[in-house]
Amino acid sequence: PGLRRGQDTPKGRQRSMAAAVLTAALALAAHGSAGLWSPWAPLRTLALPTRLRMCVRSLRPPIEPMAINAIVAAWKRADGDVDAVVREALERRAFDGDARLDEEDRSLLTTWISGVLVDQAALQAALAALAAREPFYDDAELGVGHDDNPYVVLCRAECMLALWLLHRAPEDVRRPVQFIDADRLGLLEACIVDGVEG
């Protein structure tokens, strides 16, 4: 009842669903910013409601791998220039138009890298103590080992970022740690980071 001929078929239902999604998207795009919206404006220029902006952001590549690679890059620099490391990371990301960072992401990236580098002595000591308490766990996966082993160094940066976000990061820049496997995450969550300064 209430269906026009042809609507109660697979193709009809698909067309109805597509129309409903398009209508909802246009309504969301126009919401609160009708004067700025036009049918020809690119989606990224629209003043979208917060919930829709969050959905769009969640589709972009995460910044955690960038932070981990930038921490490794900072260790290789003689001057340890965090601003230069972040700038180089942003330049590489800028080649992908859909993956460019907004101001919030850039600020997070800078804060995370700086935080890990400032606290690196305490974080690395915590990882070494954790490896000693877990003799059956692979030290390399906790970033404990020789500096000339790229895998160890990469795992160290990964675990140190996770430790910093879990135990040292201020509330306003703390994010869920979703880039570490469940086994290591459980160990790092229970890890104690002392007050050793970097």
pLDDT band at residue 180 under the 50/70/90 scheme: very high
Q: Which residues contact 78 (CB under 8 A, 6 or more apart)?
A: none
Q: Could you tell me the pTM of the whole model?
A: 0.66
- Tell me the per-residue pLDDT of 24-81, one tens digit each, with 9 for 90 and over: 444 444 444 444 443 434 444 444 454 444 444 455 678 899 899 999 999 988 777 8
pLDDT, residue 82, reads 80
- Tell me the per-residue pLDDT of 1-10, one tens digit each, with 9 for 90 and over: 444 444 455 4
pLDDT, residue 20, reads 53
Higher pLDDT pick, 19 / 131 = 131
Which structure tokens are listed for 192? Answer: 């104690």
Higher pLDDT pick, 95 / 197 = 95
pLDDT value at 121 more than 60: yes
pLDDT band at residue 21 under the 50/70/90 scheme: very low
Higher pLDDT pick, 2 / 98 = 98
pLDDT, residue 135, reads 85
Angle at 180 (CA atoms; ends 197, 170), nearest 5 degrees: 40
Among 85-89, 109-113, 162-166, the minimum mean pLDDT is found in 85-89
pLDDT value at 15 more than 70: no
Which residue type, as a one-letter code, is found at position 4? R
pLDDT, residue 181, reads 93
How big is the chain, counted in residues?
A: 198
Segment 175-179 shows an average pLDDT of 92
End-to-end CA distance of the chain: 71
The CA–CA distances, whole Å, from 43 to 47, 85, 99 equal 9, 31, 15
Q: In the chain, what percentage of residues exceed pLDDT 70?
A: 63
Which structure tokens are listed for 33? Answer: 């910013």
| Residues 101-109: contacts with CB under 8 Å, at least 24 apart | 101/63, 102/57, 105/63, 108/63, 108/173, 108/175, 109/63, 109/66, 109/67, 109/70
The CA–CA distances, whole Å, from 151 to 65, 69, 102 equal 14, 12, 30
